[in-house]
C-alpha cells in the first residue's frame, strides 16, 4: 500500500485550528495578495462568495480584506473595504460538530451592529461536522455553510491546491470525513462508524413527506447516537409515543412517556403492559420480530422502552450492504404499529 501524504489537519483538529485556516484563506482574497499567488487569491475569493451568496450583500468591488480572530469572542470577522462606504462585515461562527449555545449567535450580531449597519453584516455559520437541526441558526439570520458546500466549490481549485499544502490538506481532511459519512451506502451495518450512522440518519431526515422523518443527537447517558421519530397523538395516560434508534446496540426501540397525572404504581404497570403487549402482538401479525427490551427500566421512570427490534430485523441488508428501501418500509410498518396501539387505547384502562 502506498504511503499517504502527511496531513496537518489530521492533527490540528480543534475549532481554533479551523478558525486559523479560514482566516488564512480569507486573507488571500485581499487584492494585495494577488501578486503572491493568483490561484490562492481566487480560492480566497471563492470562500468570500460562498459566505455571502445567500445574503447577496457583497460589494461589487473588493478592494481590501481585514481579518480578525476572536474579536469580542467572534470566531472570525472578515471586514471588506474597511475604509469605504461599502464597508461590509462577514461574521463567522465556526463549528466542527459542536452546536450553537447560550444565545451566542444573537450576541455576536448585536456586538457587531455597534460598528456596522445591520444591512452590511453577513452572519455565517460554518459547520464542517454534522448537525441535525439548523432551524435555530437560521432563525437568527445566519447562513449555513456546510462541509459539502465547501468541498463542492474549493475542490475545483486544483491549481491552488497544488501550490498550497495547507489548502490541499484541509480539503483532503474534509473529503475523508465526507467519504466516511457516506460510507453507510456501501458498507455492512456492523462496520458502520459514528460518521456512517450520522450519514444514514441524515438520509432518513431527507425523506420527503415521510413518517420516519426525525431528529438525531448524541445521548450522553449511554453514549450513543440516537435517531428519534414520531410524536403521535397521546392516548389515555400517555403524553407521547415515539421510536428511536440506538446506534451502539443497533436496536429500534418503542418508547412511551407516561403522563405525570398517572402516579399510581398499579396504573403505570397497566400502561406499560398494554403498550408492550399491543406492540408485540401487532408486530407478530405483521411478521415483524419485536421483543421485550433487555430491561423495562424502573416503573417510576418518566419514559420507558416497552419493546424493541434487533438490528438485523429492521436494518435490512442485501448483498452485504443496506437495502435502504426495504429498511424504510420496515420502519414505516413500525410507525403503523404505534398508530394502531394509539387508536385502540389501553384495554386494561377502559
pLDDT given for residue 294 in this prediction: 87
pLDDT digits (tens, 9 = 90+) for 29-47: 999 999 999 999 999 999 9
Residue among 23, 15, 20 nearest 98 (CA): 15
Q: Which residue(s) pair with 121 in the sheet? A: 89
pLDDT given for residue 232 in this prediction: 66
The mean pLDDT value for 77-90 works out to 95
For residue 147, CA distances in Å to 45, 99, 131 come to: 18, 14, 11
- List, as one string, the DSSP characters of 145-206: EEHHHHHHHHTT-HHHHHH-HHHHHHHHHHHHHHHHHGGGGTS-GGG--HHHHHHHHHHHHT
The mean pLDDT value for 94-113 works out to 89
pLDDT given for residue 222 in this prediction: 81
Share of the chain above pLDDT 90, in %: 79
Query: Rounded CA gap, 131 and 5, in Å?
Result: 29
pLDDT given for residue 350 in this prediction: 40
pLDDT given for residue 1 in this prediction: 60
Task: Decide: 60 and 42 in contact? Cβ < 8 Å.
Answer: no
Task: Name which of 35-44, 63-72, 124-133, 290-299 the model is least confident about.
Answer: 290-299
The mean pLDDT value for 275-303 works out to 93
Q: Name the DSSP class of 14.
A: S
DSSP-based three-state secondary structure for 245: strand
pLDDT digits (tens, 9 = 90+) for 134-156: 999 999 999 999 999 999 999 99
pLDDT above 90 (res 234)? no
Overall pTM surpassing 0.85 (yes/no): yes
pLDDT given for residue 71 in this prediction: 92
pLDDT digits (tens, 9 = 90+) for 317-332: 999 999 999 999 999 9
pLDDT given for residue 348 in this prediction: 42
pLDDT given for residue 233 in this prediction: 63
If you count them, how many residues does the chain have?
A: 350
- List, as one string, the DSSP characters of 297-344: --TTSSEEEEEEE-HHHHS-EETTEE-HHHHHHHHHHHHHHHHHHHHH
Confidence of residue 193 (pLDDT cuts 50, 70, 90): very high
The mean pLDDT value for 189-195 works out to 96
Task: Name which of 85-89, 124-128, 156-160, 341-345 the model is least confident about.
Answer: 341-345
Average pLDDT of the residues of the chain = 92
pLDDT above 70 (res 199)? yes
Amino acid at each position: 500500500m502506498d504511503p499517504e501524504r502527511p496531513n496537518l489537519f489530521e492533527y490540528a483538529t480543534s475549532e481554533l485550528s479551523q478558525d486559523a485556516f479560514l482566516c488564512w484563506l480569507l486573507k488571500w482574497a485581499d487584492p494585495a495578495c494577488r501578486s503572491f499567488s493568483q490561484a490562492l487569491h481566487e480560492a480566497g475569493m471563492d470562500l468570500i462568495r460562498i459566505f455571502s451568496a445567500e445574503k447577496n450583500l457583497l460589494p461589487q468591488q473588493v478592494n481590501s480584506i481585514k481579518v480578525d480572530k476572536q474579536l469580542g469572542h467572534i470566531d472570525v470577522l472578515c471586514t471588506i473595504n474597511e475604509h469605504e462606504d461599502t464597508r461590509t462585515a462577514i461574521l463567522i461562527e465556526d463549528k466542527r460538530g459542536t452546536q450553537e449555545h447560550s444565545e451566542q449567535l444573537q450576541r455576536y450580531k448585536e456586538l457587531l451592529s455597534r460598528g456596522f449597519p445591520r444591512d452590511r453584516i453577513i452572519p455565517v455559520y460554518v459547520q464542517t461536522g454534522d448537525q441535525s437541526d439548523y432551524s435555530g441558526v437560521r432563525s437568527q439570520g445566519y447562513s449555513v455553510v456546510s462541509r459539502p458546500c465547501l468541498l463542492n466549490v474549493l475542490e475545483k481549485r486544483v491549481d491552488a491546491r497544488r501550490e498550497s499544502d495547507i489548502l490541499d490538506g484541509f480539503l483532503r481532511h474534509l473529503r475523508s470525513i465526507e467519504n466516511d459519512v457516506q460510507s453507510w451506502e456501501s458498507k455492512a451495518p456492523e462496520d458502520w462508524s459514528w460518521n456512517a450512522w450520522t450519514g444514514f440518519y441524515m438520509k432518513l431526515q431527507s425523506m420527503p413527506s415521510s413518517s420516519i422523518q426525525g431528529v438525531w443527537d448524541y445521548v450522553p447517558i449511554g453514549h450513543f447516537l440516537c435517531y428519534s421519530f414520531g410524536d403521535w397523538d397521546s392516548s389515555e395516560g400517555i403524553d407521547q409515543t415515539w421510536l428511536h434508534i440506538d446506534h451502539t446496540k443497533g436496536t429500534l426501540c418503542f418508547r412511551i412517556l407516561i403522563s405525570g397525572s398517572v402516579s399510581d404504581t398499579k396504573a403505570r404497570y397497566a400502561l406499560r403492559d398494554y403498550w408492550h403487549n399491543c406492540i408485540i402482538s401487532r408486530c407478530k401479525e405483521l411478521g415483524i420480530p419485536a421483543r421485550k427490551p433487555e430491561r423495562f427500566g424502573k416503573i417510576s421512570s418518566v419514559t420507558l422502552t416497552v419493546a424493541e427490534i434487533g438490528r438485523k430485523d429492521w436494518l435490512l441488508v442485501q448483498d452485504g450492504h443496506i437495502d435502504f428501501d426495504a429498511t424504510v418500509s420496515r420502519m414505516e410498518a413500525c410507525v403503523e404499529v404505534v398508530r394502531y396501539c394509539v387508536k385502540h387505547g389501553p384495554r386494561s384502562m377502559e
